[in-house]
Amino acid sequence: AQSVTQLDSHVSVSEGTPVLLRCNYSSSYSPSLFWYVQHPNKGLQLLLKYTSAATLVKGINGFEAEFKKSETSFHLTKPSAHMSDAAEYFCVAPSGGYNKLIFGAGTRLAVHP
Amino acid sequence: EPEVTQTPSHQVTQMGQEVILRCVPISNHLYFYWYRQILGQKVEFLVSFYNNEISEKSEIFDDQFSVERPDGSNFTLKIRSTKLEDSAMYFCASSLAGGRSSYNEQFFGPGTRLTVL
């Protein structure tokens, strides 16, 4: 069965500095993986998804993630944080049948001036 | 841009009461889902629904829970007799397709916060 582990519950960065949100997965087969973001009082929004086409995946708002099989990781990065990036980020994997999503615990990103 | 909507945003109820959480999925979507997040815990899958029947459900989704698509636009989650431990944020989601389709992205609503007293 697939599972995802987000290594940090909270990350705090200064505006303009890089963002790194870490996610490790475990799967008995080649997974698909997603990053979702939730802004306050908003629904979960898909940032990007990996489906084995390319290991470096670009998403919305300047975010990207790299799938590293050797490290079983799918970390989310952004070169320069913006105040509007403050939100909760979830690393997510679909179940084997793709009928449901399996969520990591979430990482709350704070961006300060 | 089309979006999933949920009502109410916050529901307070007494233990033992029935609640119905309402969702309006994106209009051309065919697959529907409910998830919940208890405060401080992970988002958990509850149920998926397609072609007017449940496709998959978790062990959480016991006989106290039911889902329905009463008309062409609404998708509801009913809890028959609420317990204190049902207090959580409930998220509805919908997707155009299921399985490994390229169109299987799940679009989420903003959630309904259910508080059981």
Model confidence pLDDT, tens digit, residues B32-74: 999 999 988 889 999 999 999 999 999 999 999 999 998 878 9
Chain A segment 44-73 residues within 8 A of B by beta carbon are 44-46, 49
Name the band, by pLDDT with cuts 50, 70 and 90, for residue B99: confident
CA distance A110 to A83: 8
Domains of chain A: 3-112 (2.60.40.10)
Note the pLDDT of residue B32.
Answer: 96
Name the band, by pLDDT with cuts 50, 70 and 90, for residue A30: low
Beta-ladder partners of A49: A34
CA distance A106 to A103: 8
CB proximity A41 to B under 8 Å: yes
H/E/C letters for each residue in A100-112?
CEEECCCEEEEEE
pLDDT higher than 80, residue B102: no
Contact A100 B107 (CB under 8 A): no
For residue A99, give the nearest of B35, B56, B91 by CB distance: B56
DSSP per residue, B26-69:
-TT--EEEEEEE-TTS-EEEEEEEETTEEEEE-TT--TTEEEE-
Note the pLDDT of residue A1.
Answer: 63
What is the sign, positive or negative, of the torsion defined by CA atoms of B43, B89, B109, A78? negative
Domain region containing B22? 5-98+107-116
| 3-class state of residue A49 by DSSP | strand
**Closest chain A CA to residue B10:** A41
pLDDT higher than 90, residue B97: no
Contact B110 A43 (CB under 8 A): yes
Stretch A11-15: mean pLDDT, rounded?
A: 97
CATH of the domain at B37: 2.60.40.10
What is the sign, positive or negative, of the torsion defined by CA atoms of A16, A17, A18, A19? negative
pLDDT higher than 70, residue A29: no
Note the pLDDT of residue B43.
Answer: 93
Q: Which of A23, A47, A101, A108 to mutate to test the interface with B (most CBs of B within 10 A)?
A: A101
Q: Tell me the pLDDT of chain B averaged across its residues.
A: 93
Note the pLDDT of residue B75.
Answer: 96
Model confidence pLDDT, tens digit, residues A75-111: 999 999 999 999 999 999 988 777 789 999 999 999 9
CB proximity A42 to B under 8 Å: yes
> Which chain A residues are within 8 Å of B93, Cβ to Cβ?
44
The count of structural domains within chain B is 1
**Closest chain A CA to residue B42:** A105
Name the band, by pLDDT with cuts 50, 70 and 90, for residue B11: very high
pLDDT higher than 90, residue B113: yes
Beta-ladder partners of B2: none
Note the pLDDT of residue A32.
Answer: 85
A-B C-beta contacts closer than 8 Å: 55
